[in-house]
Structure 1
Amino acid sequence: MLVDGEGNSIGTAPKSTVHGSDTPLHLAFSSYVFDEQGRVLLSQRAAAKLTWPGEWTNSCCGHPLPGEPLPTAVARRLSYELGLRVDSVDLILPRFSYRAVMDTGTVEHELCPVYRAVVRGEAAPNAAEVDAVRWMPWDRFAEQVMSGELAISPWAREQVPLLVALGPDPLAWPAADPAALPPAARLEPVDRR
């Protein structure tokens, strides 16, 4: 979903056509997966990915399908990319946005709310999406990202200080109000019972 600077939907475009040297602002999400001990799951993007191939990053990123609520998109992508079933998905940073340029000139430009997901069990990465995964204690991960010791994707590098500001225990971070999401992202989950 393409969005304007205020986060309003202005149309859609196939993912394959929007990532280039003049990538328009579009709706996405980032998620940080934690286990019950508060460890964060990092993923290494598959070498075949168009943007930041082989780069270590947060657990999972993605784009919602047209009409798909972001929490549903988070759960769908975590299942597809990492074989995980989530116990909970919480909105943490409703208005995060960034623009980053690869050495090749390819631009990523996203309005990208950030979610925390809590899971039990181990990841089973989809090789088309993820080359490797590893669990790290949150405090060590955050320290290494902020010191520059750990090479990480540009969006995660910008997100981590914002997450650290929420407190030392990621399981205790307050969930944000979904009303703070940009207008294009304020879709309610559908009860399919």
Structure 2
Amino acid sequence: MVVATPNLTNYDEEQARLMEEKCILIDENDRPLGFESKKNCHLMTNINQGLLHRAFSVFLFDQAGRLLLQQRSDEKITFPDCFTNTCCSHPLNLHGECETAGLKEKTPATSAELGVRRAAQRKLEHELGIPRSELPLEQFQYLTRIHYLAGSDSVWGEHEIDYILFFRAKGPEPVTLHVNPNEVKSVRYVTPAELKQLFADAAQDKVLVTPWFRLICEKFLFQWWEKLDNLESQYDTETIHRM
């Protein structure tokens, strides 16, 4: 049974409103089961009962191969002030993000991939102000999925199967950024060495890092980064990595 608490009146009004969006509920094999509010999906009370939803994480690189990071705003209900990858969010119960009609792919991963790409395009525009015209759907590269659970505090957390998407800007100019301050506190491009320094700072409690970003970096990111010019060799779209 899904539990719907607590009251959101003490949180930022816009972030509270976004908690009413409908996420896609799934089983542990990424098969859709229905929809539930973002709020209910992120309550530890429900997560501890097994509630699981679909998500995505975008890693956006410039032409030089630097990764764009964001620092989540202080207004965020989960993991405020944390550094993380370019964009992390959810496909929703919206036209084009949850439908599979007309797709010929055989597995949940590939039948959901187009909806995840559309959701990524939508949220990159919402959070970072990157125009959709600079984010062609076919330029997103889907690498694999991870299944993880992490608490933000005693009330809120994450329990997701997370689609990992890479995107590399093709032109010499970086993507256009108009950061939404309600979502994002700061942004920066980093090299692999600079990201390793960020994690060293996090180990000394100088900065905060989201748990999913840490997990992805520890197991996958740096080897993928080395293959940025040949990412097809890193595709593992059938596997759900349990982390």
Q: Which of 160, 180, 188 in structure 2 is aligned with 1:110?
A: 160
8 Å CA contact 1:25–1:110 kept in 2: the answer is yes
8 Å CA contact 2:81–2:208 kept in 1: the answer is no
TM-score by length of 1: 0.82
TM-score by length of 2: 0.66
- The alpha-carbon deviation at position 14 of structure 1 amounts to 1.7
Q: 1:74, 1:171 → 2: CA distance? A: 22
Q: 1:46, 1:158 → 2: CA distance? A: 21
Q: 1:14, 1:105 → 2: CA distance? A: 15
Q: Give the structure 2 partner of residue 35 of structure 1.
A: 62
Q: 1:166, 1:4 → 2: CA distance? A: 27
Give the aligned length: 180
Q: 1:16 to 1:105 in 2, by over 3 A?
A: closer
Unmatched segments (≥5 aa) in structure 2: 1-23, 98-114
Unmatched segments (≥5 aa) in structure 1: 183-193
Q: 1:104 to 1:171 in 2, by over 3 A?
A: farther
Percent identity between matched residues is 29
Matched, 1:132 2:186: yes
1:180-191 → structure 2 map (5 Å cutoff) = 180=238
Q: Secondary structure at the match of 1:13?
A: strand
Larger Rg: 2
Q: 2:192, 2:166 → 1: CA distance? A: 12
Q: 2:74, 2:141 → 1: CA distance? A: 29
Alignment-mate amino acid for residue 82 of structure 1: L
Q: Give the structure 2 partner of residue 152 of structure 1.
A: 209
**RMSD between aligned residues:** 2.3
More helix by share: 2
- The alpha-carbon deviation at position 177 of structure 1 amounts to 6.0
Q: Give the structure 1 partner of residue 91 of structure 2.
A: 64
Segment of structure 1 superposing worse, 32-41 or 141-150: 141-150
- The alpha-carbon deviation at position 112 of structure 1 amounts to 0.3
8 Å CA contact 1:142–1:160 kept in 2: the answer is no
